[in-house]
Structure 1
Amino acid sequence: MKISKMLPHFLLGVGIMVQSCNPKPYKISEGHSYIQKSKRYDKEWKLVWNDEFNEGKIDSEKWTKIPPNSADWGNYMTSDPKCYAFEDGKLILKGIKNEDQSKDDRPYLTGGVYTKGKFAFQFGKIEIRAKLGSAKGAWPAIWMLAEQNKYGNYPKNGEIDIMEHINFEDRIYQTTHSYYTLNLKQTDNPPHGGTADFDKDVFNTFGLEWYPDKLVFTLNGEPTFTYPRLDDVDKSQWPYDQPFYLLIDMQLEGSWVGTANPDDLPVEMEVDWVRVYQ
């Protein structure tokens, strides 16, 4: 057989060998949920999804602007372009005074994006490099909610707060919420959150390593707080066995953070990149 005829068969064989030697660390469910395969916890992380924000616009295949909602954090969410910008390969989410209340009578407007219905994952590692602006009443957050309704209405499916920052503080909050912590008031068995000091004037990398038996929160690559799965407590303690999607938003006001000071606005949250590994 001539070499020219053998070449396609050879390349096909090489392709099969490469695929078999480099299997994907996940299987896809519902078209967009990346479920990490089992028995991968002693292997190296592989990048499975990311956004470097170098295109100068929001990638609509990955993100949706968060609409306003009745939750404590969502009163001022908007798709208004004034709350979104790109600069030097970074997504900028803003909290601003609403200067034109003729069509929208809310005093403030805030920008945020989420991957709901477009990307979710179960188990793995996520890191977000961002710089957080400070203001009275400012509440930038990076967090996750369940993509599906496995256990029932909120908070039964759980919430993972990778990072929350309020006002002018020099620390972040990293927290879990669930029926177990909110309704059963089990916030100390085990402790459901922690804090970490940080330099708010520079970019930091906020992260989470998510395993079947624990959530390990990180700051700049270092573990800061771990929430373990317990076997001898109410089953609602661990709703973290299903795909979650990501939210990144520059929130204003709320019962926890307090009222905003319009003189401090605008306030910005700069997002450099988002990377998910399994």
Structure 2
Amino acid sequence: MSKNNLVLVLFLILLMNCKNSPTKIVNGYLYIQQDTLKGKDWKLIWLDNFDQTEIDSLKWTRIPRNNADWGNYMTSNSKCYNISNGILSLKGIVNKDTLSDSRPYLTGGIYTKGKFAFQYGKIEIRAKLESAQGAWPAIWMLSENNKYGKYPRNGEIDIMEHLNYDSIIYQTTHSYYTLELKQKDNPSYYKTTKANTKKFNIYGLEWYPDKLVYTLNGEETYTYPRIENVDKSQWPFNQPFYILIDQQLEGSWVGKVNSEDLPVNMMIDWVKVYQ
């Protein structure tokens, strides 16, 4: 076979695979799966092993300070970030330079907003959590676009949250339906699961057009289904979401920090997304 014919064959194979693929890539970074997704024949579409010396800026952005309860101490300060031996550490620290930043604490976090988002599929994050009074590490997802309006109209998917020195994790589904309409039992909007956070665990989610299946180390822990005959705000999860991973400190839920417990680290081994 000539070189030109070989190139043509390879191109035709690639074209056929693209046509048969259940995933459509929009704007180069939105990975949208078809609404017909039902099975579990997952294929890896996005990965970060943190095997570089710096955070990959093509995949992640350091989360800036914001006015949300969890974002008071977010910073891009390099003291809150470290990559070593394939592990990303996001830190919560006492701020010793209050002249340049008056906040008493600083925290590190990363997100894929504007760089990667997906609709339906499977995500897993292998992470280890240190404990401290006032520590609130989280792995979660928010909508890339405001399809239904301002928060919480587009929903929030909390794959993992851990508080203080707890021996449990929280896995939660938020929306206008749960937060504003107070519909927290039809269906149940969260579950707690025992977890040894002193070791690495795999926190995950399988996201289908009709349900969110939360997992811990590959085992199903909690399912939030789409249900009929309720307010439409119950299911805003039909749009692309981006990933957030952050070592939060303080807040109305977790309480105040004990500065003697700091620094505290959230250690990320890898992040994998499948469709």
Q: Report the TM-score, using the length of structure 1 for normalisation.
A: 0.95
Give the structure 2 partner of residue 16 of structure 1: 12
The answer to whether structure 1 residue 223 and structure 2 residue 220 are counterparts is yes
Give the structure 1 partner of residue 144 of structure 2: 147
Partner secondary structure for residue 233 of structure 2: helix
CA distance in 2, matches of 1:187, 1:124: 25
The answer to whether structure 1 residue 183 and structure 2 residue 180 are counterparts is yes
Q: Give 4+ residue runs of structure 1 displaced > 4 Å after superposition.
A: none
Give the structure 2 partner of residue 161 of structure 1: 158
Work out which of the residue numbers 103, 108, 131 in structure 1 matches 2:105: 108
CA distance in 1, matches of 2:181, 2:76: 36
Give the structure 2 partner of residue 84 of structure 1: 81
Partner secondary structure for residue 236 of structure 1: helix
Alignment root-mean-square deviation, CA: 1.4
CA distance in 2, matches of 1:139, 1:273: 20
The CA deviation at 1:20 is 2.5
Give the structure 1 partner of residue 232 of structure 2: 235
Work out which of the residue numbers 162, 165, 171 in structure 1 matches 2:168: 171
Give the structure 2 partner of residue 212 of structure 1: 209
> Which residue identity does 1:13 align to in structure 2?
V
Query: Retained in 2: the 8 A contact 1:25–1:46?
Result: no
Computing the radius of gyration from Cα coordinates, the structure with the larger value is: 1
- Percent of residue pairs identical: 63
CA distance in 2, matches of 1:107, 1:260: 10
CA distance in 1, matches of 2:154, 2:37: 25
CA distance in 1, matches of 2:132, 2:265: 9
The CA deviation at 1:18 is 5.6
Work out which of the residue numbers 116, 141, 144 in structure 2 matches 1:119: 116
The answer to whether structure 1 residue 254 and structure 2 residue 257 are counterparts is no
Partner secondary structure for residue 222 of structure 2: strand
> Which residue identity does 1:12 align to in structure 2?
L
Give the structure 1 partner of residue 192 of structure 2: 195
The answer to whether structure 1 residue 69 and structure 2 residue 66 are counterparts is yes
Question: What stretches of structure 1 of length at least 5 have no aligned partner?
Answer: none
The CA deviation at 1:264 is 0.3
> Which residue identity does 1:16 align to in structure 2?
L
CA distance in 1, matches of 2:111, 2:10: 39
Pick which of 171-180 and 8-17 moved more: 8-17
> Which residue identity does 1:266 align to in structure 2?
P
CA distance in 1, matches of 2:268, 2:22: 26
The CA deviation at 1:16 is 2.0
CA distance in 2, matches of 1:199, 1:111: 22
Per-residue CA deviation, residues 178-213 of structure 1 (Å, 9 max, x unaligned), is 110010000000000101111111000000000000
Partner secondary structure for residue 8 of structure 2: helix
Query: Retained in 1: the 8 A contact 2:36–2:209?
Result: no
The CA deviation at 1:24 is 3.6
Give the structure 2 partner of residue 59 of structure 1: 56
CA distance in 2, matches of 1:14, 1:119: 27
Query: Retained in 1: the 8 A contact 2:132–2:258?
Result: yes
CA distance in 2, matches of 1:253, 1:43: 38
Partner secondary structure for residue 75 of structure 1: coil
Pick which of 6-15 and 58-67 moved more: 6-15
Q: Report the TM-score, using the length of structure 2 for normalisation.
A: 0.96
CA distance in 1, matches of 2:116, 2:249: 26
The CA deviation at 1:42 is 2.6
Give the structure 2 partner of residue 29 of structure 1: 26
Query: Retained in 1: the 8 A contact 2:25–2:31?
Result: yes
The CA deviation at 1:39 is 3.4
CA distance in 2, matches of 1:162, 1:226: 12
